[in-house]
Amino acid sequence: MKPLRNGNTLMEKSTIKMILLPKEFYQRDAIIVAKELVGKIIIRKYDTEELSYYRITETEAYKGEDDEACHAHKGKTKRTEIMYGEGGLIYIYLIYGIHWMLNIVTHSVDNPQAVLIRCTENYNGPGKLTKALKIDKSFNGEKIHDNLKLYIADDGYIPYILPKKRIGIEYAGLVWKNKLWRFTDNRIEKKTTRL
């Protein structure tokens, strides 16, 4: 199968069959979902009806109130209440006052887990990615599996998953910051950056 590309590279639509990921895909443990999202395709439909495709190359898992790197570590707040919803909800938050982060809530109600989409084949960093996709707070709380503007599909690509330590969580305890809960596609050569 030819690789899926968009933007400044070739896109062979006629050779690609994509399957939209169902709600049940997200209603599992964040670590499983984070691994399996690597290699999948984010599809963004803009107001102009234009579609853009981005292959996910890096994710991070965050596993509930016990995980000291997770936003839900201190319990339910106005900011984190979306994480306590059902798997498949989009969770958007702002960092450094300028970068929106795209996360997908996983697992079940009152089990606050999420996966951060860190990089795609075209964009090396979660802030660069959301800027390219024109994603902001307006997406917060929407369903990724039932969305006309932003969704994720499988085109059959099989990545080579490499687990690594999560990035930017120096505040977390020693155990949590050393968890290998960041997953990258070693088949796609890229440079990871923070933003």
What CATH number has the domain bearing residue 70? 3.10.300.10
Cα of 113 vs its chain's centroid, Å: 12
What value does the mean pLDDT of the chain take? 89
Tell me, yes or no, if the pTM score tops 0.75. yes
Cα of 84 vs its chain's centroid, Å: 17
Is residue 141 one of the residues assigned to a domain?
yes
Contact 104, 29 (CB under 8 A): no
Q: How high is the pLDDT of residue 17?
A: 87
Task: Locate 13 and state its tokens.
Answer: 């639509």
Is residue 19 one of the residues assigned to a domain?
yes
Average pLDDT over residues 38-47: 96
Task: Locate 144 and state its tokens.
Answer: 């990724």
Is residue 3 one of the residues assigned to a domain?
no
- Indicate the number of domains in the chain: 1
Average pLDDT over residues 157-179: 93
Measured between alpha carbons, how far is 24 from 106 in angstroms, rounded to an integer? 10
What Cα–Cα distance (Å) separates residue 66 from each residue in 71, 117, 125, 172, 181?
A: 10, 21, 26, 11, 14
Is residue 4 one of the residues assigned to a domain?
no
Cα of 21 vs its chain's centroid, Å: 13
Is residue 2 one of the residues assigned to a domain?
no
Secondary structure E strands in the chain = 19-20, 41-45, 51-63, 90-95, 99-106, 113-120, 150-154, 161-164, 182-185
What Cα–Cα distance (Å) separates residue 108 from each residue in 25, 29, 126, 153?
A: 12, 9, 25, 21
Is residue 23 one of the residues assigned to a domain?
yes
Is residue 192 one of the residues assigned to a domain?
no
Antiparallel, parallel or unpaired: β 99-106 and 90-95:
antiparallel
Is residue 120 one of the residues assigned to a domain?
yes
Per-residue pLDDT band for 65 (boundaries 50, 70, 90) equals: very high
Per-residue pLDDT band for 85 (boundaries 50, 70, 90) equals: very high
Antiparallel, parallel or unpaired: β 150-154 and 19-20:
antiparallel
Q: What single-letter DSSP state applies at residue 89?
A: B
What Cα–Cα distance (Å) separates residue 11 from each residue in 4, 44, 76, 160?
A: 6, 15, 42, 22
Domain limits for position 129: 13-185
Q: Residue 7 pLDDT more than 80?
A: no
What Cα–Cα distance (Å) separates residue 156 from each residue in 62, 100, 106, 153, 186?
A: 26, 29, 22, 9, 17
Average pLDDT over residues 42-53: 94
Q: What single-letter DSSP state applies at residue 142?
A: -
